[in-house]
Structure 1
Amino acid sequence: MTDQLPRRPARISDVARLAGVSLGTVSHALNHPSRVRPATLERVNDAIRELGFVRNANASTLATGRSTNIGMVAIAFGNSMFVDIARGAQRVARNAGYNLLLAGSEDSYDTQGQFVQFFDEARVAGLLLAPMEDSSEHVDRMASHGRPVVLMNYDGPEDACRVVVDNEQVGYLAARHLIERGCRRITVFGGGDQFQPVQLRRRGIARAIEEAGGAVEVDAVTTDGLTPAAGEAAVAPIAAAAPDGRPDGLLCLTDAIAVGAIRGLQAAGVDVPGDMLVMGCDHNTQSWDGDVTLTTVAMRGLEIGETAMGLLLEELTTPASEHAHRRVVVEPRLEVRSSTTR
């Protein structure tokens, strides 16, 4: 029997022929096995195993008009916050009978658009999107084809549900912590203000500085990106300055920047936290290794993912006329480690 197996990928018709049943019986065996007599079901499953048949999910979607796949496009999975978001989203999706498909845009708006197009053409049921800038055109594209979108970690348009971290509070907690630890000259490291979370974190920092009533000096350094390399390059002039010309606190708007800054300071002989306190902002587990563990503000990724997927499933099962988009805010929390503990 196996000598006559096709060299091309096996089709459902091949399964039916080998099992000696109709195409409809194979379809029922795949989708509604309880409707098939046990002996027949066993023959079909034997044929599937022998042929190495893999069902065509896209064809099933076209036939039934319903997909069990949900897409997720995040900024970068090198940041463990987005891994946590994916884990939380997947947990809820699987419990509801859905699959989660992941893509990382690597901080590129164009790449994000390409993945949104891919998921749209793949006819996913819906999309979780974690952008860094306004992505209304991507939301509109999916919505125009009946595919709901839930935004994560970005406070976008009101025509989509969104789960946001209070990023202003992230900046406030970070700055307030350094002030409470005795810092009076704080330098803020971060990327450009084209990124909404960065804008909001700066606003929170300004609020904490204002509350200090003039007791704290603050300046800002724009890093060339949000990576460890960017942090290490930006800290070089500070590390090379005389001790009395350095800040006593460094507030980095991402943990990745903070990791690079600590590396650069240590290489120049500046002790962290003895000579300078260093603070991060997004609870990236990549920053947990090394001699100096990083104090940061946790973004609670698991909760974001679980909440976002819950909103998406709610929208998928609610008539459009009855659905109202919602905005859910997840509060951050301070995580104190050795980089600010003298």
Structure 2
Amino acid sequence: MADVAVHAGVAIGTVSNTLNNPEKVSERTRRRVLASIAELGFVRNDAARSLAAGTSTAVGLVVADLGNSFFVDIARGAEAVMRRHGMNVLIVNSDVDPVSEVRNLQLFEQARVAGIILAPLDTQLVRSQRLPAKTTPTVLVNYESPSHAYDGVVVNERHGGALAARHLLDRGRRRLLFAGGPMFLGAVKNRYEGAKEVVDATPDASIELIETRGVNIRHGRQIADQIRAQGAGRYDGVVAAADLLAIGLIQTLSDVPGFRVPEDIAVTGYDNNHFASESAIPISTVSQPGEEMGSAAAELLLDRIANPDSTRRTVILEPHLIPRRSTLGDIWKRDPASS
């Protein structure tokens, strides 16, 4: 700013007013200062301004996995709300790595962002009240703090699991399998319990559990190999805990006699990832309202920043089922509502 002031022949305060309070500067002077700024390539240091003013116009968003379009939707929802309030969103990806998650939280704490939205990994850290961002207002999304130490936004996962199981039962499937894990993940556990509750209430239906070490495509292929090893007919429906699991399973089973999808075995996924509707056999899925979750988390964070001593609360949103070919077969026709 001193260099700009010398170049324009004005006081440093005039440069500051040109940037922050232009109504205090004459049009002629403002143009001279802006011309000097352009010629010198001056870039305002917003980080320094935030430290000086004690405020920031940026919030941090830490997501577990940007490779999962569900978290991309959360980011879109949060950014839309923050933009309307004149705030910027800085996004970092933990890449399903607890060490990276801690480092990202520390990074935002050191950067003095106004607040943090955390879509966390289900680890002991997030279950505690000792997140690395100790002084920065923080809201959890896709996770409810067991100690209620943080505001949060979650989906009713039990209801989601129940929706998937009920859909298969309504299609006449009675020998169901729940595939997913690890079961210490709260979301997976709740989805299984919701599915099991519905099946247990149906006299002629049963459900078994095969726990996986993850919810990626390779884990789905491993489940498919186990299903094949047990022989055709043992299961006629699968509730997969994630779309990636369902994709891996379908890729392995779809052309195997006795295991065709959905003729012999119908499959549901979970999350409504963008590629679920684009796979060779479009996947019936339980859709989570990602953008709505991001929007709600942003609103909670803005309220927490404005009212730091207010009572913590958790917003619970409802999922919905999107049926596609993996359960409906040939009666399914692609249309905007199905994708």
Give, in whole Å, the separation in 1 of the partners of 2:201 and 2:36: 72
| 1:185 and 2:185 matched | no
| 1:335 and 2:335 matched | no
Q: Which of 303, 306, 311 is the equivalent residue of 1:324?
A: 311
Whichever residue aligns with residue 185 of structure 2, its letter is F
| 1:205 and 2:191 matched | no
Q: Which of 136, 143, 157 is the equivalent residue of 1:167?
A: 157
**Residue number in structure 2 paired with 1:71:** 60
3-state SS of 2:3 partner: helix
Whichever residue aligns with residue 149 of structure 1, its letter is T
Kept in 1, the 8 Å contact 2:162–2:198? The answer is: yes
TM-score, with structure 1 as normaliser: 0.90
**Residue number in structure 1 paired with 2:333:** none
**Residue number in structure 2 paired with 1:277:** 266
**Residue number in structure 2 paired with 1:252:** 240
3-state SS of 1:243 partner: coil
Q: Displacement, 1:139?
A: 5.7
Q: Displacement, 1:185?
A: 1.2
3-state SS of 2:90 partner: strand
3-state SS of 2:61 partner: strand
How far does the alpha carbon of each residue in 1:10-64 deviate from its partner, in whole angstroms, 9 at most, with x for none?
A: xx33322222222222222222222222222212222222222222221111111
TM-score, with structure 2 as normaliser: 0.90
Whichever residue aligns with residue 182 of structure 1, its letter is G
Runs of 4+ in 1 over 3 A off after TM superposition: 136-141, 239-242, 267-270
Kept in 1, the 8 Å contact 2:200–2:206? The answer is: no
Q: Displacement, 1:228?
A: 1.2
- Alpha-carbon distance change, 132 to 195 in structure 1, aligned in 2, over 3 angstroms: farther
Kept in 2, the 8 Å contact 1:113–1:138? The answer is: no
Give, in whole Å, the separation in 1 of the partners of 2:219 and 2:164: 20
Whichever residue aligns with residue 243 of structure 2, its letter is D
Kept in 2, the 8 Å contact 1:132–1:196? The answer is: no
CA RMSD of aligned residues (A): 1.8
Q: Which runs of 5+ in 1 are unaligned?
A: 1-11
How far does the alpha carbon of each residue in 1:266-297 deviate from its partner, in whole angstroms, 9 at most, with x for none?
A: 35454211221110111111222122111111
Q: Which runs of 5+ in 2 are unaligned?
A: 330-339
How far does the alpha carbon of each residue in 1:169-226 deviate from its partner, in whole angstroms, 9 at most, with x for none?
A: 111111111111111111111121221111111111121121113x222222222321
Q: Which of 251, 254, 268 is the equivalent residue of 1:266?
A: 254
3-state SS of 1:124 partner: coil
Identity in percent: 37
Q: Which of 195, 216, 233 is the equivalent residue of 2:222?
A: 233
Q: Which of 73, 90, 95 is the equivalent residue of 2:79?
A: 90
Higher mean Cα deviation, 279-288 or 17-26? 17-26
